[in-house]
Amino acid sequence: MRTGKLLVAALWSTLFCAGVAVAQDQQAPSQQKPAQTQPAADDSSGPDMGNDGIVLPKKKDDAVAPPPAPAEEKVDNPGGATYSMRVDVPIVNLDVNVLLDKTHQFVPGLKPENFLVVEDGKEQEVSSVKVTRTPITVVLLLEFAANSYFFIRDMQNAADGFFRTMQPEDYVAVETYDIKPHVLTDFTNNKDTVDQALNSLIIPGFRETNQFDALYDTLDRLTRIEGRKYIVLISTGVDTMSHLTLDQMYAKVKATPNVSIFTISTGQFVRTMADARGAMGPMTRMTYLQADNQMKTFADMTGGMSFRPIFQGELPDIFSQINESIRNEYVVTYKPTNTKNDGSYRKVKVYLVDAEGKPLKMQDEKGRPLKYSVIHRDGYKARLPVE
């Protein structure tokens, strides 16, 4: 009996397990995920899949390759600083005027081979020569002191005559001096302004004529202005009590570039008459002779000209010469053989030569020889290393 019950229990257990298995088999198709199928090797649509299940984008055969990296700049010292070297080659521009002695006309048509430049006794090679005709920038520096009515009248006539030769594009400043300089008008191209400044010179204040101080002050002011400048100094040339000495004045003239001084001495008629009557003592005569020499030296050192008119009728010709000189000039350029920047003063002399190197000879239409003058500065000051 006991054995029969055990058989019935084992049978029911077997039937129960079988039913559970059949139920699991019926639910399996709905719970299992479909297996992923790997695409064929020749399928070009869709991404590649790696062995680890990561999706890899498929490479295209016609993909454009990225541009190559720029080549590294080659330097002499890779990894270090880059240095540059600057070499300053000195160049001298020399303003030269060539005028006929008789007519004071400008001589055109000269070539670079016609100019022989000698610096400190050594010939220089001229690189270029050009002719310039430009407006002028000029200072009328006038002696206006209570010394003599005739001197003042000569100054006023000369200043007024030069003022009349101004061109519309010229710039003129007016400055007077007695015990000290006085600027009547700064640079202007208004003729009315200049005319008013000249007409204001009626009653002088002091007898002293400190020419050196006034000329030094004018040169100092002109160093602040670019380009070529001129000073027309109308004066007796006598200096009474300047703080500066003549040597200091010469040094200032030499050290000031691009300035030419033209001098017109006043009082020549009175001096000539007094000397003829014996009314001028030896000391007074020596004083005026020294003044004339100083005025001429200022002009020669800067490439200007010096005049000592006795009669007023000489003034138109004087102004014609000055205008012919400053409005037409040659600019001679050369590289000096002495390249030292030592601040020294270099003496310069310019000659005119022909194709064979001989002194150039000029003739008029009738074959008669013409004398001429070569006008220029007598030298220049070399640059300093720090300039």
Interval 9-59: pLDDT, tens: 555 555 555 454 444 444 444 444 444 444 444 444 454 555 545 554 555
The pTM of this model reads 0.64
Is the predicted pLDDT of residue 367 greater than 50, yes or no? yes
The third-level CATH classification (topology) of the domain covering 134-327 is: Rossmann fold (3.40.50)
Q: For a pLDDT cut of 70, what percent of the chain falls above it? A: 77
Distant-in-sequence, close-in-space partners of 352: CB < 8 Å, separation ≥ 6? 98, 110, 114, 115, 116, 359, 360, 372, 374
Interval 241-280: pLDDT, tens: 899 999 999 999 988 888 999 999 999 999 899 888 888 8
DSSP state of 290: H
Number of other residues whose CB lies within 10 A of the CB of residue 25: 9
The ranges of the chain annotated as CATH 3.40.50.410 are 134-327
Distant-in-sequence, close-in-space partners of 93: CB < 8 Å, separation ≥ 6? 331, 332, 333
Q: Beta 92-100 vs 362-363: how paired, if at all?
A: unpaired
Q: Decide: 369 and 133 in contact? Cβ < 8 Å.
A: no
Q: Give dist(CA 360, CA 369) in Å, integer.
A: 11
